[in-house]
Amino acid sequence: MGVSFEGSHLLSAHFERSDLSRADLTGVTELTLDPEFNSMKGAKIQFAQLPGLLVKYGLNIQH
């Protein structure tokens, strides 16, 4: 099992070359990171957090 970030506010947090494999990121707010530069296999995230993984593409994601 990986680490749990549940309840964490990650505004201004910077992840690069981090091993987030099997990490529990559910319940995290302000999640922004690039999966291309972080290991995330098996990480748990919520659907609402997906835009934070796509920031570098400059997409206008509508809910």
Residue 62 falls within a domain, yes or no? no
Q: Would you place residue 8 in the very low, low, confident or very high pLDDT band (cuts 50, 70, 90)?
A: very high
pLDDT attached to residue 36 = 96
Q: What is the mean pLDDT of the chain?
A: 93
User: How does pLDDT run across 31-54, given as a tens digit for each residue?
Assistant: 999 999 999 999 999 999 999 999
- The structural domain count of the chain equals 1
pLDDT attached to residue 61 = 87
Residue 27 falls within a domain, yes or no? yes
pTM above 0.85, yes or no: no
- Backbone phi, then psi, for 17, in 5-degree steps? 60, 35
Residue range(s) defining the domain that contains residue 34:
1-55
Residue 21 falls within a domain, yes or no? yes
Residue 39 falls within a domain, yes or no? yes
CA atoms in the 13 A half-sphere facing the CB of 38: 17
Contacts of 1 by beta carbon, 8 Å cutoff, 6+ apart: 22
- 30: tokens are 């302000």
pLDDT attached to residue 1 = 63
